Chains A and B, each alone.
Chain A
């Protein structure tokens, strides 16, 4: 039974691993921390798996566990702020070349998102994953109205990062 559960879990996670990779990319700055966070999320997913029982889609359930692990349970990314500061210096100089190509614009957007705080990142992540505000508010535990308000503030914040 246990072996069967194990096999089912690993297969499902393998199929959906892109979601976890995306969370790790947002919340870490180097390959080692990326792998470390991936591992912690995997452990948390596995521990919670017996309670999952297929009530929701595997991927829906993954979002919650992965984000909870990244913003609440995981505590190793201490140097994050320094790196973000560093990035913002380079980034603000480059912002002059704004509008040039779509590629560059995207690159700048990614950098801007990475400079956001943990909670803001979680909102942006769910937004980018095309979750509606009901799902976003359910996952984070805030009201739908506040999820919208917060998202608007994040948009303003991103704008100031992009055009200082």
Chain B
């Protein structure tokens, strides 16, 4: 075997592969092309993950729901929750920035992989945190509805439209539908995140395990 590998080595070193040589212009053109590396994708997706949830507040109808929170008597908690939420989000963004800056293609392979996985892990924790907050949010609204005694007043539009409904029935219906919506929403998001990162980092993780396996 050793001889065969030596034979291969000799051949390999004199080998000019059957590939047309690239000209100066070819290479020059390439350096301005956009990279499609894993690191770039992580950056793009992470920025989207930080930014997109914030846009929810600009959706039409969000003002109405702020009114609903007021009517339900939870707007005070909502404000407190928002402030702590943003404090944590900024902490995550800062951590992400620190780790992202550490990634360098000049590192050795194992370090490079480890740093990419670490950066990605920061985003993963952020996603888990976001999902937990969303769960808490749905739960809080459902609780608020449950504890509210004047449900038609809290949801004036629905209340007017469904005058024939008894308030109790309305309450239960609202709670159940919110519960189902919340579950679907959170399950859908989790599935999306984990599939996305599985696709993106599957190969990298395999190679990292391979490199780490011997180092005990």
Residue ranges of A at the interface with B (Cβ–Cβ < 8 Å): 6, 9-11, 13-14, 17-18, 21-22, 24-25, 34, 38-40, 42-44, 46-48, 51-52, 61, 64-65, 67-69, 71-76, 102, 105-106, 109-110, 113, 117-120, 122, 127-130, 138-143, 146, 149-150, 155-156, 158-159, 162
Contact, CB under 8 Å: A68 / B105: yes
User: Which of A11, A38, A47, A138 contacts B105 (CB under 8 A)?
Assistant: A47
Residues in A neighbouring B90, C-beta threshold 8 A: none
Contact, CB under 8 Å: B35 / A47: yes
Whether, in the assembled complex, B160 has its beta carbon less than 8 Å from a beta carbon of chain A, the answer is no
Interface SS, B side: helix
Interface SS, A side: helix
A67's nearest neighbour on chain B, judged by CB, is: B109
Q: How many residue-residue contacts, CB under 8 A, span A and B?
A: 158
Contact, CB under 8 Å: A102 / B107: no
Whether, in the assembled complex, B54 has its beta carbon less than 8 Å from a beta carbon of chain A, the answer is no
Contact, CB under 8 Å: A39 / B28: no
Residues in A neighbouring B30, C-beta threshold 8 A: 38-39, 42-43
Whether, in the assembled complex, B75 has its beta carbon less than 8 Å from a beta carbon of chain A, the answer is no
Contact, CB under 8 Å: A128 / B12: yes
Contact, CB under 8 Å: A106 / B11: yes
Scoring B residues 78 to 114 as 1 if CB is less than 8 Å from chain A, else 0, what string do you get?
Answer: 0000000000000000000000000011111111110
Contact, CB under 8 Å: B13 / A130: yes
Contact, CB under 8 Å: A130 / B9: yes
Contact, CB under 8 Å: A72 / B112: yes
Q: Report Cα–Cα, A141/B21, bound state, in Å.
A: 31
Whether, in the assembled complex, B203 has its beta carbon less than 8 Å from a beta carbon of chain A, the answer is yes
Contact, CB under 8 Å: B13 / A25: no
Contact, CB under 8 Å: A51 / B16: no
Pairs A-B, 6 closest by C-beta atoms: A141-B110, A141-B108, A73-B37, A146-B214, A46-B31, A128-B12
User: Which of B2, B4, B28, B203 contacts A118 (CB under 8 A)?
Assistant: B203
Query: Smallest distance from the beta carbon of B131 to chain A beta carbons, Å?
Result: 25
Contact, CB under 8 Å: B112 / A14: no
Query: Smallest distance from the beta carbon of B216 to chain A beta carbons, Å?
Result: 10
Residues in B neighbouring A17, C-beta threshold 8 A: 21-22, 27
- Provide 8 A-B residue pairs closer than 8 Å at the C-beta atoms, listed in order of the A residue: A6-B28, A9-B31, A17-B27, A44-B37, A48-B104, A118-B206, A141-B109, A158-B5
Q: Report Cα–Cα, A72/B112, bound state, in Å.
A: 8
Q: Report Cα–Cα, A22/B11, bound state, in Å.
A: 13
Q: Report Cα–Cα, A98/B35, bound state, in Å.
A: 43
Query: Smallest distance from the beta carbon of A152 to chain B beta carbons, Å?
Result: 10
Contact, CB under 8 Å: B33 / A43: yes
Q: Report Cα–Cα, A43/B207, bound state, in Å.
A: 22
Q: Report Cα–Cα, A72/B210, bound state, in Å.
A: 12
